[in-house]
Amino acid sequence: MRPHCEADAADVARFADDPEWARYLPVPSPYGLADAKAFVAAQLGLDAIQHPSWAVEVDEAVVGGINCRFFFEHQLGEIGYSIARSRWGQGLATEVATAIIQQAFTVHRDLQRIRAMADSRNVASLRVLQKLGMTREGVLRRNRVVRGAGIDEVWFGVLRDEWAGRPLVSVEEVNKHDY
């Protein structure tokens, strides 16, 4: 993981133009270079304290991203992530999300909870959240509209003491389990 840079736009456009990648995301489809440039510019414009964002890079190519938005007044963080379809099923989302959650709880001592949401149809993303040790907390029915369709969101969360008390295992070990 590393901070985004303007040069990331070409890689983002390459993986984000995949309709299968975009299926559960509120992004333009088709997704062009102009969309990728706007996305990267938006990431560069985020407040790094309130809403840090990182590019996920493998073999010198950007293959996804992850961010954590903090609501300090509520002692709450919220993560979001996306990985290129060519890297699905390799444990990458679980690995980077684990690192971000660990860092968030380490750096922000008052942080009590981290939450995340996934489209209810996105089984792979729901599995990632389970692998992270997050608890499924509820479903918000038709909570947002993506490409004209009402989408049910499944919300997960992990509390500081739950995170601290979880057994430490490698990403490889986590990925052996069928959730």
**pLDDT tens-digit profile of 97-136?**
999 999 999 999 999 999 999 999 999 999 999 999 999 9
Q: pTM of this prediction?
A: 0.88
Give the pLDDT of residue 166. Answer: 74
**Residue type, position 39, single letter:** F
**pLDDT tens-digit profile of 151-174?**
999 999 999 999 987 765 444 544
Its CATH class, for the domain covering 6-175, is alpha beta
Q: How do the domains of the chain map onto residue ranges?
A: 6-175
